[in-house]
Amino acid sequence: MLKILAGWSERFQQSAFAFPLAVLVAGLMVMISEAAYHQSETGLTTLVSMGQARLKLLNVVQRLSDAESSQRGFLLTDHADYLTPYHAAARDIARSMDELQAINLSLSHTDAERERRVLETLVNTRLSEIEEVLRLHQQGHHDQAVGLMLTGIGREKMESIRRQKQVLLDQQNQLIAVGLSDLNDTFLLHRLGVASMTAISLLVLAMFLRQGRLLARQRQLQQQAALAERDRLKIEVARRTHELTELARHLQNAREDERARLARELHDELGALLTTAKLDVARMKPKVMQHLPELAERLTHLTETLNTGVALKRRIIEDLRPSTLDNLGLCAALEILCRESSERMGVTVTTDIEAVPLAPSAELTLYRLVQEALTNVAKYAQATQVSVRLQHAAGWALLCVEDNGIGFDPQLVPRATHGLLGMRYRVESEHGELRLITAPGQGTTLKAQLPVVEIEAEVPATGA
């Protein structure tokens, strides 16, 4: 059988159709790859559009709630300032409905568009009821306005709107699932195409190597060429590795910059909104206590809810971008992180942290590394004690996070788990090294070393 295959191989190599056939196959593989790419691009664009549709849908319900809040505020205070949010919400709802309609039409989702029209009718009806209540109040019929508002019709309408919103969300979830399935099929086709191209390339290479071995001189030349190619590939691999490392650093910096931007926006925008809401509640409280004492408990609950929102905002901002790291430095930030993690997990966390001169990006890397390690301890380790040590030795910052938990087998970590891999790439992007020491029943130790900022060389010159 092998002799037959060898004979066919020799005849194919000597055939005039060998090279054109190889070119044809390669062209087909390229076409398959390009088709898979365009299908993937179309699928991703569709998924993005459906994601935007979900946001528009949620915005409609949220803005309708804002309109109701504005109505209640106006009825309670009789201040015209409360009408401004109502009109803004009405305009935003109309705009979101139009944009949602445009998305459905662009994606040819007739069922979703039909359900959207039902939702639009419900929303318009609810807005009309709110407008009628406001009109009666402005005309001096306050009792009629309050009576109309307390009939429960509005609540029933909102329940219908929420049910209709859920129907649309369920439809979109089904469409997203179908889109993801199509993307997976496209990716599978792309993988098959690449695998086929690789197999054919290897087959062609094997044929030419076999033919080269028939001639001694050509074999020698091919060996020399192979050595040269190997050296070139080593250089290319080193270059690509460096590029990938730089890319990983850029992606990490971009992500941290985006986190910082989101933290600033949350602090400025959401913080201002919550503060304004608290001030409004504070201004309303004396009048409510005087005229509507039965609402005092609800007003207190509203104040507590706003305080919870402020605390949640602060916690989210700290998770996005630790302000302690920027304001107090790495040592204080790690101390605070370890203390808060200890209180949250109910686990003893001991620290031995030494000031180390590091670049800002390296400080953020170490902070995120400790943060991720403590998160893993809370999720998986079942530990009772954790120690965090940071030391300066021989031009390196040495970080060690050790727990007495159940440990694990590193070979059995699922491929879908990217936490450890992300840590490793992040440390390597800072020209450092990460080591994991663990075994079942023996706890886990995470060690990282990063180069420090070279400032010691400047001290003798200054002294001179």
- pLDDT value for 8: 57
Predicted confidence band at 216 (pLDDT cuts at 50, 70, 90)? confident
Q: Is the pLDDT of residue 354 over 80?
A: yes
Does the pTM exceed 0.75?
A: no
- pLDDT value for 360: 85
Question: HEC string of the chain?
Answer: CHHHHHHHHHHHHHCCCHHHHHHHHHHHHHHHHHHHHHHHHHHHHHHHHHHHHHHHHHHHHHHHHHHHHHHHHHHHHCCHHHHHHHHHHHHHHHHHHHHHHHHHHHHCCHHHHHHHHHHHHHHHHHHHHHHHHHHHHHCCCHHHHHHHHCCCHHHHHHHHHHHHHHHHHHHHHHHHHHHHHHHHHHHHHHHHHHHHHHHHHHHHHHHHHHHHHCCHHHHHHHHHHHHHHHHHHHHHHHHHHHHHHHHHHHHHHHHHHHHHHHHHHHHHHHHHHHHHHHHHHHHHHHHHHHHCHHHHHHHHHHHHHHHHHHHHHHHHHHHHCCHHHHHHCHHHHHHHHHHHHHHHHCCEEEEEECCCCCCHHHHHHHHHHHHHHHHHHHHHHCCCEEEEEEEEECCEEEEEEEECCCCCCHHHCCCCCCHHHHHHHHHHHCCCEEEEEECCCCCEEEEEEEECCCCCCHHHHHHC
Where along the chain do its domains lie?
A: 2-214, 225-321, 325-463
Mean pLDDT: which of 100-109, 136-145, 339-348, 410-419 is highest? 339-348
State in words which class domain 325-463 has. Answer: alpha beta
Predicted confidence band at 464 (pLDDT cuts at 50, 70, 90)? very low
- pLDDT value for 459: 41
State in words which class domain 2-214 has. Answer: mainly alpha
Q: Is the pLDDT of residue 463 over 50?
A: no
Predicted confidence band at 460 (pLDDT cuts at 50, 70, 90)? very low
Predicted confidence band at 324 (pLDDT cuts at 50, 70, 90)? confident
Task: Report pLDDT digits (tens) over 139-148.
Answer: 777 777 677 6
